[in-house]
A and B are shown apart, each in its own frame.
Chain A
Amino acid sequence: MSMERAEIQSLKMPMQMVPERKSKEAWVKTGYIGLLTLFLLIFLIPVVLIIINSFKDEAEFYARGVLSLPLKPSLDIFREVWQLVEFDVKLYNSLLISTAVALLGLLISVLNAFAIGIGKIKWGKFILAFFVFAMVIPHEALAYPLYYMMKMIGLYDTKLAVILILSVLQSAYGTYLLSSVFRTFPASIIEAAKIDGCNKWQILMIVVALNKPALSLLLVFYFIWTFNEFFLPLIFLVSNANQTIPLAVTLFQGQYTGYATMQSACSLLGILPCIVFFFLFQRTLTQGLVAGGLKG
């Protein structure tokens, strides 16, 4: 927030210093930017309110309301919520599951795409259609049989169950995307590698090494998607020790309905990791990569 304001301020400054030279166009520009800034501020009000109310105690909230700034900002509420939610456990679970799914999902995607995009195997298009099916299928159409299966093999209420299912489901997108990326991989490089006596694993390594940007993009997407996943973790991770952050935050609100600032502090704790990821991966995330759907 403050960064945005500072940026806009610095843009206005030079114009304000020479008001007599301000042309009509400059006025229009300032007006437009002002309107846009106002719109963005209104748009972000929910996030701002969550932030300011997380630093108040309950008494102050009920006395002064949701819109006032905290009188004596304190971290006490966070400490309390952190302990109630066992936030460190939830953070660990979320990071572990997301990282595992990102890596395993990527591995599956690369192997699939290597066969389809580089190997150009027969029926490749047909097989891809199956992966598209896995991409669009609603999870509730798989949930009960998977739930039953995991209960039978003793993986119900384990992080491993969620990791396996989500890796496979998400690898469908990567298979689709990487197949079209690999298809355009120069055949001459592969021919040269073959002449040098490389086997298929070595060729795979070359393809991986030369497609690092696409692969890291997939890693980021898998990680974030898994972190945000709700439906399957809700079904599979019932015990407190296995739950992820979105699950814990949602269940916390249901339990502490009357505690306004605890709820907001809990949401803020839940958002913070995402904001960290956002700054780490901003470039990748806002590139607007379309679901590989642009190339048929």
Chain B
Amino acid sequence: MKTRLDRGYYWFLIPGFLLFIIFVVLPFIANIYLSFTRWSGVGVPQFIGLKNYLRAIDDFNFWLSLKNNVVIILVLTTIPTVISLFLAVFLFQYVAVKVGKTTANIFKAGFYLPQIIPVAIIGVIWKWIFQPNWGALNVILEKIKLGNLAQNWLGDPNYALGAVLLVMVWFQIGYPLVIFISALQRIDPQIYESARVDGAKGLRMFFSITLPLISPEFYVVVLTTIIYSLKIFGPIFALTRGGPGNATTVASYFSYKNFFEFSNVGYGATMSTIISLIILLITVVYIKLQNFESTEGE
């Protein structure tokens, strides 16, 4: 059956493959090369070996950026996931059954709304809310007699990262929510029926049926959220520009500043190379784990 005809399929891959080489592979290799150079962006990059990497080891701001990314990962993979898992089960197994599908869908859409707003504009809106003098958060705290809790949320290094995290959690919830709801729709209701016959109740059913059955979606949510957290840029730019000081700086912003503000291209490339390698490592481990699980299941 393998005839000459079938080889013709390669032609269809050529445009995509070439574009991919030009816009992804070559820039990525160039970026790795730049991480071994000192370069202001003008003239010829000067090769300096591992100096940028050695400099990074002793650079407080370099580690602070990575630490902030890790904090964002820890918060975004847990809080929104738990809240939305609870919401998804409640919406799908209670509201949709007892009240109606339309109501459940309206709630779903409501919680999903932040997800459709460009994340930079999310930052703009919340910066407006965090404004220390007339911003809504402090005004509301004043109104409910908690005025002494009012803060310069984004201007105070003690609160800035927390404020950013609050915004990110608010933005994130809708994403795992829709994924978990579609996962729940996939589960055969008969499984619940027979469990009920066997005398299983709410929580028990949740932990021994629902949770194991939606675990594929769970993994995907965690993986995509980790990658998203490592790439995060727009909200930081809009909310704090990494400030105050460097309190909310993250890896991508660190690179951005070195590229375009400090004309320190090699050092910016060092950070972005390291982040890329971390992301690739996580992705590879994830794919291995997933393949392992699926072969085990067969």
Residues of A with Cβ closer than 8 Å to B?
Answer: 3-4, 7-8, 11, 29, 32-33, 36, 40, 43-47, 49-50, 61-62, 65-67, 108-109, 111-112, 114-116, 118-121, 127, 130-134, 136-149, 164-165, 167-169, 171-172, 175, 194, 200, 204, 224, 227-231, 234-235, 245-247, 249-250, 253, 260, 263-264, 266-267, 270-271, 274-275, 277-278, 282, 285-291, 293-294, 296
B110 within 8 A of A: yes
Instruction: Select the stretch in B47-55, B56-64, B122-130, B200-208 that faces chain A.
Output: B122-130
Partner of B121 from A61, A271, A278, A290 at Cβ < 8 Å: A271
Nearest 10 CB-CB pairs, A to B? Answer: A119-B9, A288-B178, A288-B182, A145-B27, A145-B30, A230-B234, A246-B118, A228-B118, A115-B13, A141-B272
| Chain B residues, Cβ within 8 Å of A119 | 6, 8-10, 12
| Chain B residues, Cβ within 8 Å of A143 | 255-256, 259, 272
| A67 to B140 Cα, complex, angstroms | 8
> A117: shortest Cβ distance to chain B, in Å?
10
By beta carbon, the residue of chain B nearest A144 is B259
| A108 to B39 Cα, complex, angstroms | 35
Partner of A286 from B100, B108, B120 at Cβ < 8 Å: B108
Encoded as 1 (CB less than 8 Å from any A CB) or 0, chain B from 110 to 146 comes to 1111111111110111111101001110011001000
Q: Is B275 touching A169 in the complex (CB atoms < 8 A)?
A: no
B:270-286 near A, CB below 8 Å? 271-273, 275-276, 279-280, 283
B237 within 8 A of A: yes
* A44-B113, A286-B112 given; A136·B95 CB < 8 A: no
> B228: shortest Cβ distance to chain A, in Å?
10
| A231 to B255 Cα, complex, angstroms | 12
Q: How many A-B residue pairs have CB under 8 A?
A: 289
By beta carbon, the residue of chain B nearest A132 is B283
| A143 to B259 Cα, complex, angstroms | 9
B70 within 8 A of A: no
By beta carbon, the residue of chain A nearest B238 is A250
Q: Is A61 touching B134 in the complex (CB atoms < 8 A)?
A: yes
Q: Is A134 touching B24 in the complex (CB atoms < 8 A)?
A: yes
User: Can you name 20 extra interface pairs (CB under 8 A) apart from A112-B16, A228-B118, A249-B121?
Assistant: A11-B103, A47-B125, A61-B134, A108-B19, A112-B17, A133-B24, A140-B231, A140-B272, A141-B269, A164-B19, A169-B24, A200-B12, A229-B118, A246-B234, A264-B125, A274-B118, A278-B109, A288-B179, A288-B180, A296-B287
> A9: shortest Cβ distance to chain B, in Å?
11
Residues of B with Cβ closer than 8 Å to A?
Answer: 5-6, 8-13, 15-17, 19-20, 22-28, 30-31, 34, 41, 90, 94-95, 98-100, 102-103, 105-121, 123-129, 131, 134-136, 139-140, 143, 170, 173, 177-183, 216-217, 220, 223-224, 227, 230-231, 233-234, 237-238, 251-252, 255-256, 259-260, 265, 268-269, 271-273, 275-276, 279-280, 283, 287, 290-291, 294
* A50-B128, A296-B287 given; A66·B118 CB < 8 A: no
Q: Is B109 touching A282 in the complex (CB atoms < 8 A)?
A: yes
Q: Is A121 touching B116 in the complex (CB atoms < 8 A)?
A: no
- Would you list 18 pairs from A and B whose C-beta atoms are within 8 A, ordered by A residue? A8-B103, A11-B99, A36-B90, A46-B129, A47-B114, A49-B136, A109-B16, A111-B16, A132-B283, A132-B287, A141-B28, A172-B24, A250-B123, A260-B131, A274-B117, A278-B109, A286-B178, A296-B287
| A246 to B268 Cα, complex, angstroms | 24
* A32-B94, A136-B227, A290-B179 given; A7·B13 CB < 8 A: no
Q: Is A275 touching B31 in the complex (CB atoms < 8 A)?
A: no
> A125: shortest Cβ distance to chain B, in Å?
11
| Chain A residues, Cβ within 8 Å of B287 | 132, 296
> A163: shortest Cβ distance to chain B, in Å?
11
> A212: shortest Cβ distance to chain B, in Å?
19
Q: Is A66 touching B179 in the complex (CB atoms < 8 A)?
A: no
| Chain A residues, Cβ within 8 Å of B143 | 67
| A175 to B17 Cα, complex, angstroms | 11
Q: Is B23 touching A127 in the complex (CB atoms < 8 A)?
A: no
Interface of B is mostly: helix
Q: Is A235 touching B260 in the complex (CB atoms < 8 A)?
A: yes
* A132-B283, A137-B28 given; A249·B120 CB < 8 A: yes
* A140-B233, A253-B127 given; A290·B220 CB < 8 A: yes
Partner of B20 from A67, A131, A136 at Cβ < 8 Å: A131
Q: Is A138 touching B102 in the complex (CB atoms < 8 A)?
A: no
| A42 to B130 Cα, complex, angstroms | 16
| A125 to B56 Cα, complex, angstroms | 36
| A227 to B223 Cα, complex, angstroms | 24
Q: Is A111 touching B15 in the complex (CB atoms < 8 A)?
A: yes
By beta carbon, the residue of chain A nearest B186 is A294
> A281: shortest Cβ distance to chain B, in Å?
9
